Amino acid sequence: MIYWIVRFVNNYRQYVILTILILFSLFLLSLNPSKQITTLRKGSFLIYALFNYIKTPIDEFVYYKKENEILRRENSELSQKLFELKEFEDEKEELYDLLEFKKQNPINYKTAKIILKSKDVVENKLILNKGLRDGIKLNAIVFNSKGLIGYISDLTGNYSVVHTIANHNLRISVKNERTKALGILNWDGEKFKVYNVSKSADVKEGDIFSTSEYSSLFPPDIPVIKVTYASKESETLFFDITGKALSEMEDINYCMIVEPDQNTYNLRFIRKK
């Protein structure tokens, strides 16, 4: 250790001597009581105080800026965790509903997980993690504990494609569960519309429309939409009816699959307000 100190002093002795002399000079100046030195000392203190006065807000600004960045990052991470927890909670509730549906409806069906959602104005599709190897067939009906989702339109060994009811080219024969009024359901690219319901029929907001016995693709009595708007003020002979899907695409992660010819009468679907 001493060797390194001696070597450092020998290599930088000029700088060491200069530093010692400057410090000694400053010490002597501090002891000098002359008016000039006192004025110089006061001026130095004033400059230091002014510099510190200017520097403090800058330091605080830099400090709070860093703190805000840290808080913003932590807030973003917490928001992401809350979103994930909400997703887990929704998924847990969905699985619970599927179990309740199975208890109330002892029918033969297969359960699948939705792994991809494809949204479009004309038609919306889902990709499921079950395919031919799992016994899935074309035109099989896809639904969940709340109502109809769609049908199987394409298959591979391990995956299935679902054409959802949100499909402009798909028309479904439906009936009002309360009054048995018949109509034709179609997706117009933004919302579900029920056509050809006579103004003499009894339809009101909150009514449920299910698949009817006249549907060529779906078995009867599967809930499809809930009426959100019903008016007789149109110039035609029919109601102007708008509805909301009971199984909304954004909310579903799992589904059930049954063969199209399987008896689905008297199934007890889960209704939540």
pLDDT in the model for residue 43: 64
Tell whether 244 is covered by a domain: yes
Task: Judge whether 96 lies within some domain.
Answer: no
Cα end-to-end distance, the chain, whole Å: 81
* Strand boundaries in the chain, DSSP class E: 110-118, 123-128, 141-143, 148-155, 160-167, 171-176, 182-187, 192-195, 208-211, 223-231, 240-245, 254-258
pTM score, two decimals? 0.68
Whether 70 maps to a domain, the answer reads no
State the Cα–Cα distance between residues 57 and 50, nearest whole angstrom: 12
Q: What is the pLDDT of residues 93-139, one digit of tens each?
A: 887 888 888 888 878 889 999 999 988 878 899 999 999 999 999 99
4-9 average pLDDT score = 65
Q: Are residues 89 and 103 in contact, defined by beta-carbon separation less than 8 angstroms? A: no
**Which of 76-85, 156-165, 168-177 shows the lowest per-residue confidence on average (mean pLDDT)?**
76-85
Residue 130 within a domain = yes
Buried/exposed code over 28-49 (b: 16+ C-beta within 10 A; e: otherwise): eeeeeeeeeeeeeeeeeeeeee
Q: Is 161 a member of any domain?
A: yes
Residue span of the structural domain in which 185 resides: 109-258
CA atoms within 13 A on the CB side of 3: 0
Asked if residue 219 belongs to a domain, the reply is yes
Residue 132, CA distances (Å) to 4, 110, 138, 152 in order: 80, 12, 9, 11
- 15 inside domain: no
Q: Look at residue 211 and tell me if it is in a domain.
A: yes
Domain of 173, CATH number, reads: 2.40.10.340
Q: Domain count of the chain?
A: 1
Write down the pLDDT at residue 18.
65
